[in-house]
Structure 1
């Protein structure tokens, strides 16, 4: 995709020039991650989302709404990449932040709550399945 190519060029040019916490760099990481998700390249998208979240964590207060939104996007990306445990952790952290910043009745918080429940159920099923496989050996 043309957008992805532009993002990769930007990231290359920013390397060593802009800090990993520079908002312009974080924004490009965010867009690149979204494009990769759209292209169903979830593992690559998750990698960039992780870098974005690490940058925001250094910049923002632990209860910052933008950090919460970044964690939500990254968590969903990890979930889609099949890395359910990592995705679940990020979704839980995003939920904690957005409960503070947006409250329990906001649509995003409600969406996060259902994602949190769903990833939790998937994790339990995955762990049960893993135990059953080990017991069968």
Structure 2
């Protein structure tokens, strides 16, 4: 994990990942780490009410990476409707990049924008562009 990333309290959601240095737009920041698991196992873990959070990041329809136990600082990238970062999936890797220049001590965020299979989740990002929800309802066509 890059030395310039650190975890501290976030105004968005409990803890967040922050940078201790300036990061230029398009810079590859870090890789999401964790255990590669099957879709069946990912769904089981996401529905487990005994877990304190959901840290599954889907690679494709068949596999996800679960950062719950074996994750790194990137599992603390909170949601924002106006995110500082985006991700790219490259095989079995998820890489985070700066979507714009990011300032020293700024929180690193991504847009979760996932399907609302079990209801909408209220967004707390505070962005001027806030959609109001982390996820969206996908209509069957």
Tell whether the structures are fold-level matches, with TM greater than 0.5. no
Normalising by the residue count of structure 1, what TM-score does the alignment of the two structures yield?
0.28
Q: Report the structure, 1 or 2, having the larger helix content.
A: 1
Give the structure with higher Rg (CA): 1
The one of the two structures with greater contact order (alpha-carbon pairs below 8 A, sep at least 6) is 2
Q: Report the structure, 1 or 2, having the larger strand content.
A: 2
